[in-house]
Every structure is written in C-alpha cells, then in structure tokens.
Structure 1
Amino acid sequence: MSSIIQLFWEPLQETFFQKALIGGSFVAVVCGVTGCLVILRRMSFLGDALSHAMIAGVAGGYLFMKLLFGIEAYAPAMLIGSLIAALMTVALIGFVSRMSRIKEDTAIGIMYTGIFAGGVVLVSVFRNYIHIDLMHFIMGDVLGVADIDLWTSAITSALVLSVIILFFRYFQVTSFDPVMAASIGMPVVLIDYVFTTCVSLVVVSAVSMVGVILVVGLLVTPAATAYLLSDRLDRMMIYAAFFGVTSVVGGLYLCVWLDSAGGGAIMLFCTFQFLVVLLAAPRYGLMARWLQLRRMVPQQLAEDVLGFLIRKDSSDIAEIKADIKNPGRIQHAVKNLASQGLLSVKGRIVSLTEEGRKDAARILRAHRLWEAYLDHVGTPEWEIHPKAHELEHVSDAEAIGYLDDLLGHPVKDPHGQEIPEDNTCAMPGAVVSLSFLRSGREGQVEKVNVPADKTGLKPGDRLRMEQRRNNGAVWVAVKEDKTEIEMDHDTADNIFIKCF
C-alpha cells in the first residue's frame, strides 16, 4: 500500500511536476469552459486553425524584437504577434466566407494553412535570426513550463473566464439560436467577435506551454465528454473543466511513469476518458443506446401485431407467433403495446382495446388502400397482398390521404373487402370534404366551392349520404326535403361538411 502512495507522492515533490500541474490545470479549465461554446457553435476546426496560424505571429514577434532591439525570445512580443496572427486569421476567414461563395469551413482550411505556411517560410528564411523549434511548437513541453508561462496562462485564464461569466447569457443565446438572438436585439456579430477573441487568447496563451496538438485537444475533447453527460450549458462547462483537469493530472502521472512525452500522455488520458464516458454515459452513451434499442419494439412488428388482431378480434399469443415473422420478439411487442393501452392481455389471450382498434384500423386502411393502388397500376393479383403488407407501414396521414384521393376514395379493396373509414370523418364536429363521407353519414354543409347551380347546395343544408353509384364514381347525397343530389369526385371534393 505504501509503495502505491509513494508512486503518486514522489512526482508531486518535483518542482517541474508542480509547475506542469498548475499550468496545465489553468489551461485545462479555460479550454474546457471555452470549448463547450466552441463545440456548440461548431467551431472546433477554427480552434485548430488559430493554433496553427499563430506560428506566423510568434515568428513575426521574434523577428521584430531581434532586428529592432537585438532581444531574442521576448515573450510579450511573441504573445502580441500570436494574437495579431490569430485575429488576422479570423478576419480573413470572415471576409472570404462573407464576400464570396466559399463556405466558412473551406475558408478556414485555406486561410489557416496559408498563414501557417507563411510562418514556416518566415522561420526558414530568417533562420539566422529566429531560433524556434517547430517540433516544440507543435508538440509543446508541458514538463518544461517557465514562470512567465504560468503567469501568462493565469492572467489569460482569469480574463477569459471573467468575460464568459459576465456575458454568459449572451454567449448561450447566440450559440443555440443566433436568429432569435438577433430578433431580440442582441449584437450577434459583436458577440461572435468577442468570443473569437477569447478563443484566440486561450490558444495563444496555451500553445507556448502545451503545443498546438494539446491545446486543440483540450478545447474539444473535455467539452465533448461533458456534452455526453449534460444538456445544460452551465453544468456542461463545470464537467468540461473537471475532465480537463483530470486529463492533465492523469496524463502527467502517465508520462512520468512511462517516461513519455507530456503532451501526448495528457491527450491520451483525455481521449481515454472520452471513450469511457461514450461507452457508459447514462443517457447518450453506447450502452444506454444499446439497452434502449433492446427495449424498443420495431414499429413494423408492432403494426403487424395490431393488423393481425383487427382481423381476428382476439387471439392466443402462440397463434400470433405462428403468423408473424420474428416470433422471438412477439411477447415483448405484446407487452409494450399493452403498456401503451392498445392491447388487453388475459393469460395468453390478447385482444384490442378501443384505442388499439383505432390504431389497427388505420393500419388496415393503409393496407387495403395500397392493395387498391397496386391493382390500379396493374400489379399481378398474386403479388398484391404481399406487396401491400410491406407498404402498409407507410401509413402517415399525408401519404395515405394522397393515395385515397388519387384512387377516388374507394370503399372496397380489389378482394371486395371494405376499406376502413378515415378516423377524422367519424369525429362529430369535424369539417371534411364530402368525398370522404360513407353511406349513412350525416352532416351540415359548411362551404361550397362549386357554382350553386351545379348542386343546388348552400351552407346550412343538412345531408345524409347514400350508397355510391357507377362503381363508386358517383356520390349521392339526400337533403332534408328528400332531394337527391348526384355529383362526381371533383365536385364532392369541393363541398365541405361538418359531421354529426
């Protein structure tokens, strides 16, 4: 036990480890909090762009101080140069995406690679004056943190976190709904520029300590991990800061124990945390999704059970299993439908409830309308039923309404069986087209969109529907005074009746 404690205690006694822990934690907290807004705004690629592009600013600041004052590696000048390069990158990206047909993601790719390449060329051309280790810039050296890096990171973190706390509501609204934010008078463009400046400050202050790869990783991965655990932005930011700090702590111990690169170890631990949460998150994790899918009943299977029962009224579960494919999940489907109030189960006998009968009638109506349509387009008789059985699951109201109207609102399918009536027509008070009404239905005329002399009907007339004539092509309505009115499909479609 003491050896395990010693394993954790010994690194903490080293000054380089303490500095790396403090500096890395500063970076992790501000990156985690800022990263939540970055991923909500889908700006992850922008963080990568800024971190790469700032090499031009570092080289420019270094060269400026070297040539004018003879000073090498002057941190404030390189910091200011990096910030200028980052803001220039953002400005050029915005200019290109707004003033041309090039989309923002493409503009980011063009500008950051161009500015990054410019920085590399600058370092190469003036290599006698600029002494920058590009590998150190890319990978960072978290174990070699200098005091000036700690102060820079602490001040920048405090500044950025203060801005985010003070303007949290504005950042939140513009991240989730910029259109609504603009409509209530928020200066969306200004807020975007303020936030982008914050991201630039975070990247610039952190790259010198942890390198390009790690700063992008800490901006995105802890925030993405937190996103799997929370739907609230404030709580998500707390989780992201926590995962960022644990990534730094775990990664630093890992790099000491394995004698590996600090930045790589931190990012490896950070990614490991993300994968664990991705697997085990209670709502959005892979395990939760798998369990949810296991509990779910496929819609097609549920509809097959309802469709079977409306033809049988009630049935034994064994009979349902024998008729429907996928018998292994029938028991689960029946249980699920019963919990929704669509089925009544007594022992092994299953029957439809009143609500279940309505749902089943909708499926049967879709099936028989598809049979009528398949017969209409000339499908061979032996193929009509199996094809309609597949198509009946396309039963949304709009599709079935279109099919019904296309076929002239048929009453029977090709086998002579009655097609169930549209449920909306059976509701008292519903206003529907007269063409939907079946024999025996009564109602009052609400609106007539055909010339009065064509039918003699006017709003307020009471009607009762009779059997259609001429193979269903002629609608017959009888007024209170026993006057009989015949009309075709188009005319019936343009008369609207309030059902009794």
Structure 2
Amino acid sequence: MDFWTILQQEWAIRALLASTMVGLMCGVLGVFLVLRHMSLVGDALGHAILPGVVVAFMIVGYNTLGFFFGAVAAGMLTAIGITWIQQNVRTKNDAAIGIVFTAMFSLGVMGISWISHEEGVHLDLKDFLFGNVLGVADQDLWLAAMTMVFVLASVVILYRPLFVSTFQEVLARTMGIRVQTLHYFLMLMLSFAVVASLQTVGVILVVAMLITPASTALLLSKRLKWVLVWAGVLGVVSAVSGLIVAILLETTPGPAIAVVATLLYLLVALFAPERGLVARMVQKLRLRWRIEEEDVLKHVFRMSDGEPPAPAAIAEALG
C-alpha cells in the first residue's frame, strides 16, 4: 500500500484532523505561556490531570467525556494550588510547580495501582503518556474541535486584556482588568488544551506542542498578532509533518511530532531574517566593516588637512 493510499484511509484522516486541531490551539495558547514565563505549567498540568482521569474512571467507567471533565477539574485544582503557593508561601515559582504536579501525578499512579488491585482492571499508561493519535475516535475529534473553537474564540475576544496583562500587569490593573481572573481563565484554557492533546501527543510531549511552535514564532516576528499567526501555522505544520513522518517510518506519532517541531525551531533559530544566528552574524560583520571603513575615512580626512599620515593606525583600521 503506497503512502497516498494510506492517507486516504479513515484512521489516517482522523489522525490528520486531530493533529491539525491540536497543533493550532496549542501553538496559539503557547505564545501567552512563553511570554508570561509559564512554560513549565503546561507540562505540570499534563502530569497532574492523571488523578482526575482515575476518579472519573471510578465514577463513570471507561468514558471519554468523563475522562475529559475529570482531567480538566484536576488541571484547574493544580493551577489553583500552584498559584496559591506562589502567592502565599515563601517558595520559588518553579519549586511550587514541581511540588504540586509531582504530588498529583503520584496520586494518579497510586489510584491506578489501587484500581488494578481492587477492581481487577488494567489501565495502560502508555497511551496516556505518549498519545495514540492513530486510534482517535469520533468523540475524541468532537472534543478536540470544541476545545479548539473555545480556545481560539477566547483568544480573539480577550486579545486586548491578554495583551495588556501579559506585558504590563500594573497598567492592566489600573485599566480595571481583572488580572487574577484572567490568569485562572488562561489556566482553564490550558487545561482544556492539554486534555484535548492527550490522544495526539500524550502528557509527556504536550509541552513540546505548547512551547516549541510559540518559541519559534517569537523568532519570526515582534508583533503579537503575527506571532500568534505564526505559532498556529507552525503548530499545524509540526503536527501534520510529524504524523506523516511517523506513518512513513512506522514509529510513534507523538515523539515524531515533537522532533519535527524541534527541527523547525532549530532551522528558524539559525536562519530567521532578523533574529536568526546567521542574520545576527551577518549584522555583526557588516557593523565591523562599517566601523573599519569609517576609521580609514577618518585617517584619510586627517591627511587631507595636512596631518602627517599614520601608517600603523591605517593598517590597524584595515585589520
């Protein structure tokens, strides 16, 4: 079976749709996480939602919708816990994130062990950790679609408050923007996006979809609107390209998507028009040549005024 025939299969179309939606919403949402220095919060929420999945399984059994709301509830509790510790306890921000998410993830693992022992039900953590986009069901697609619409619509509607509170929190407060409420709403959107990404890349690699396209986009533009557009495009390109690579190499899609996103970041980091390493090296060389040229012209000007030539200085200016 050739590659194009494979892409026409129903499971491949589902996987492409899911990857596209997850790449788009994670790329856009990740911009605000990077700019707010909250990159690791996405990773923390990804691990911390496990007890929500366990509790949902205990209540409603194996149900995708139940898992979704249970995971979102756990994610919000984690976000609230991290924020409370950061604001009320003398603990550094990264330490607060580590304390809460490791505790929540450990509770989830303990819950899975209890279910396996008491209920005789085996819950495989592999798909939870690494995703299984090739096994996406209709319900997963609908949840991903609704989450994507919710996230993108929220970003469009709240663009101005998000913009101001991200760059000037004090100004946002004086303008009457409820910064704390906006922060928790951002955490809600993040929880939704993380849960919707589970089937595609899993909790371990969801941070790659949230952070890498956004970081790449920030190298391509200085204007937030264009950064958001670039992040969405790069998220989609990373997700779809990674899926295609996984199909061709017969490997796991989640890691392949993360690798492609990282390769795109490296390419842009090297060759971005203004902020790339190559462009910066060229700018430094041009500046050096300009300084040397001006030094030579300075000595020539002095000689034209009758000042004796200084061969050593001219030679030094010429390098």
Query: Identity percentage over the alignment?
Result: 37
Q: 2:6 aligns to what SS in structure 1? A: helix
1:207 lines up with 2:194 in the alignment: no
Residue equivalent to 2:238: 247
Q: Deviations over 1:319-344 (max 9, x none)?
A: 3145xxxx3xx238xxxxxxxxxxxx
Matching residue's letter, 2:91 = I
Amino acid in the other structure paired with 2:33? V
What secondary structure is seen at the aligned counterpart in 1 of 2:273? coil
Equivalent residue, structure 1, for 2:9:
14
Decide which structure has greater helix share: 2
TM-superposed CA distance for 1:60, in Å, is: 1.1
C-alpha contact 1:309 1:315 (8 A) present in aligned 2: no
Aligned length, in residue pairs: 315
1:43 matches 2:38: yes
Do the aligned partners of 1:57 and 1:81 also contact (CA within 8 Å) in 2? yes
Q: 1:42: how far off?
A: 1.1
Q: Is the 8 A contact 1:11 1:253 kept in 2?
A: no
Asked whether the equivalents of residues 149 and 209 of structure 1 are also in contact (C-alpha less than 8 Å), the reply is no
1:56 counterpart = 2:78: no
Structure 1 segment 48-447 matched on structure 2, within 5 A = 48-65=43-60, 72-128=61-117, 129=119, 130-297=121-288, 314=307, 316=309, 318-321=311-314, 327=316, 330-331=317-318
Assess if the C-alpha contact under 8 Å between 2:241 and 2:260 holds in 1.
Answer: yes
Offset of residue 299 of structure 1: 12
Give 1:315 deviation, angstroms: 5.5
- In the TM superposition, what is the alpha-carbon distance from 1:213 to its structure 2 partner? 2.7
**Structure 1's 181 and 305: CA in aligned 2 closer, same or farther, altered over 3 A?**
farther
**TM-score normalised over the length of structure 1:** 0.59
1:165 CA drift (Å): 0.7
Query: SS of the counterpart of 2:110?
Result: helix
Shift of 1:310: 12
| 1:462-473 equivalent positions in 2, closer than 5 A | none
Under a length normalisation based on structure 2, what TM-score does the superposition of the two structures give? Answer: 0.91
Do the aligned partners of 1:171 and 1:191 also contact (CA within 8 Å) in 2? yes
- The question of whether the paired residues in 1 share the 8 Å contact of 2:29 and 2:190 is answered with yes
Once residues 308 and 255 of structure 2 are traced to their aligned partners in structure 1, the CA distance between those partners, rounded to angstroms, is: 63
CA distance in 1, matches of 2:310, 2:270: 37
1:230 aligned counterpart, secondary structure: coil
State which structure, 1 or 2, has the greater radius of gyration over its C-alpha atoms. Answer: 1
SS of 1:126's partner is helix
> In structure 2, what is the Cα distance between the partners aligned to 1:273 and 1:121?
38
**Structure 2, unaligned stretches of length 5 or more?**
none
* Counterpart-to-counterpart distance in 2, 1:298 and 1:121: 64
CA contact 1:61–1:77 (8 Å) conserved in 2: yes
Residues 375-414 of structure 1 show CA distances to partners (whole Å, capped at 9, x for unaligned) of xxxxxxxxxxxxxxxxxxxxxxxxxxxxxxxxxxxxxxxx
Cα distance in 2 between the residues matched to 1:315 and 1:219: 64
Query: Displacement, 1:318?
Result: 3.2
**8 Å contact kept, 2:194–2:206:** yes
Do the aligned partners of 1:97 and 1:104 also contact (CA within 8 Å) in 2?
Answer: yes
**Which of 10, 25, 31 is residue 30 of structure 1 equivalent to?**
25
Q: In structure 2, what residue type is equivalent to 1:120?
A: V
Secondary structure, counterpart of 2:27 in structure 1? helix
Provide, for residues 431-473 of structure 1, a one-character-per-residue CA deviation record: whole Å limited to 9, x for no partner: xxxxxxxxxxxxxxxxxxxxxxxxxxxxxxxxxxxxxxxxxxx
Give 5+ residue unaligned stretches, structure 1: 1-5, 66-71, 333-500
Alpha-carbon distance, 1:10 to partner: 2.4
Structure-1 separation of matches of 2:132 and 2:56: 20
**By how many angstroms is 1:135 displaced?**
1.8
| AA matched with 1:295 | R
Write the distance in 1 (CA, Å) between the matches of 2:204 and 2:93: 22
Change (3 A) 1:127 1:299: farther
SS of residue paired to 2:230: helix
Q: Distance in 2 between matches of 1:41 and 1:232?
A: 16
Looking at structure 2, the residues matched to 23 and 258 of structure 1 have their Cα atoms a distance apart, in angstroms, of: 20
Q: Which portions of structure 1, spanning 4 or more consecutive aligned residues, are displaced by more than 3 angstroms?
A: 128-131, 297-319
Q: CA deviation at 1:304?
A: 9.3
Q: State how far apart, in whole Å, the 2-side matches of 1:32 and 1:104 are.
A: 24
